[in-house]
Amino acid sequence: MIREPAEPIRLGMVGGGKDAFIGGVHRIAARLDGTYRLVAGALSSTPDKARASGEALGLPRVYDDWASMLAGERALPEDERIEAVSVVTPNHVHHPVAKAFADAGIHVICDKPLAVNAGQADELVRTTDASGVVFGVTYNYTGYPMVRQARAMVRDGRLGELRKVIIEYNQGWLADALENEGVKQAEWRTDPARSGAAGAIGDIGSHAENLVSTVTGLELEAICADLTTFVPGRRLDDDGNLLLRFRGGARGVLIASQVQVGDENDLRLRVYGSDGALTWHQEQPNRLWFVPNGAPPQLLTRNGPGLHGDALAAARIPPGHPEGYLEAFANVYAEIASAIRGGTGDFPTVRDGARGVRFIETTVASAASDAKWTPFPTETAS
């Protein structure tokens, strides 16, 4: 369903300047439905680069850093200043930027992981509750129509009692020490000071955890993790293998690796219940396989017959016309825009982001522990 643009939300962006892959993706996602208008930015931690990046994009207002952007926007009349900010910086900058803008009453769209530790994440939950702003976290894979179809089928009981979940996120781009070759995306992701306590688990493992939670609704009870750093000299994990226990008895396996040579963006989910099973593969995102117990497999396709309303609402064009990564990302932005404009929105919230940070911390603690299982903490923010 192609969305009719509402009054565009005046958007600012922190991070995402020259050479930043994800910044460009966020800008495309924000403008795809006409629901945002990028009017301001502090696009780099280096003032000269920030100005050059903003001017190259033709932004009306370009700032040297995020603090001057916040001050400058707050000085403008209310009907001119930004209404929302997109935070697309390295991980260690998420918390201070998001908190400052949320405290100022500006809605926040933040890349994942939400923060570098649970204390920061919980503080963002409290700040969001106190300020009343909309706070979305861009776990973009939740925007795929067939992910929403899978969620609806689980919720409607089509799989029966859930028994096992297998989630894999396999990449190979960090099989070599690219961080030593001046590759920006590799440099900060492998740097504990900027990435946080985890490497692959924080970068892509957090996506895997969120996809499991979104589709199944299962709550983690304990984790048994094995994290490895294969590339010599690298300071964070580049491969992870986890066993998961969920409340209620279901079990899971989570694999997240960035050193599997030949793999590109191989995210795949399998969910098994007493009455059926589902399989979804991100590199073929328009298909969802459903296998009822004792019956032939069924192939469900994006915008095809028999889909749930949630899946149909996330589809943009007729069946047989492929949709992919950018459209799914744009769905998340569009849902956040709906919430900002006072409607409902189907998007990952600040609490989903906080749970993701607890997942990362628990995984790292489990890998460092001699104990077989590490309990997963419950939500602490109020």
In terms of domains, do 158 and 79 share one? no
Full DSSP string of 262-313 = T-SSEEEEEEEESSEEEEEETTSTTEEEEEETTS--EEEETT-TT--HHHHH
Compute CA 245 distance to the chain's CA centroid, rounded to the nearest angstrom.
22
pTM: 0.95
Residue 25 lies in a domain: yes
Residue 222 lies in a domain: yes
In terms of domains, do 102 and 235 share one? no
In terms of domains, do 181 and 307 share one? yes
Residue 343 lies in a domain: no
In terms of domains, do 209 and 133 share one? no
Report in angstroms the alpha-carbon separations of 11 from 38, 40, 42, 186.
5, 7, 12, 28
In terms of domains, do 234 and 265 share one? yes
Residue 346 lies in a domain: no
Residue 373 lies in a domain: no
In terms of domains, do 83 and 158 share one? no
Q: Output 75-80 pairs: Cβ under 8 A, ≥24 positions apart.
A: 80/10
In terms of domains, do 132 and 196 share one? no
In terms of domains, do 182 and 302 share one? yes
In terms of domains, do 360 and 220 share one? yes
Taking only the tens of pLDDT, the chain with its 382 residues reads: 556 656 899 999 999 988 788 999 999 999 999 999 999 999 998 999 999 999 999 999 999 999 999 999 999 999 999 999 999 999 999 999 999 999 999 999 999 999 999 999 999 999 999 999 999 999 999 999 999 999 999 999 999 999 999 999 999 999 999 999 999 999 999 999 999 999 999 999 999 999 999 999 999 999 999 999 999 999 999 999 999 999 999 999 999 999 999 999 999 999 999 999 999 999 999 999 999 999 999 999 999 999 999 999 999 999 999 999 999 999 999 999 999 999 999 999 999 999 999 999 999 999 999 888 999 998 765 5
Question: In angstroms, rounded to a whole number, what is the distance separating the alpha carbons of residues 254 and 320?
Answer: 31
Cis bond before residue 292 (omega within 30° of 0): no
How many domains does one find in the chain?
Answer: 2
Q: Which domain holds residue 167?
A: 143-319+355-367
For 375, phi and psi rounded to 5 degrees? -60, 145
Residue 64 lies in a domain: yes
Which of 140, 161, 191 is the endpoint of a domain? Answer: 140
Q: Which residues contact 321 (CB under 8 A, 6 or more apart)?
A: none
For the domain that residue 41 is a member of, what is the CATH number?
Answer: 3.40.50.720
Which of 108, 140, 172 is the endpoint of a domain? Answer: 140
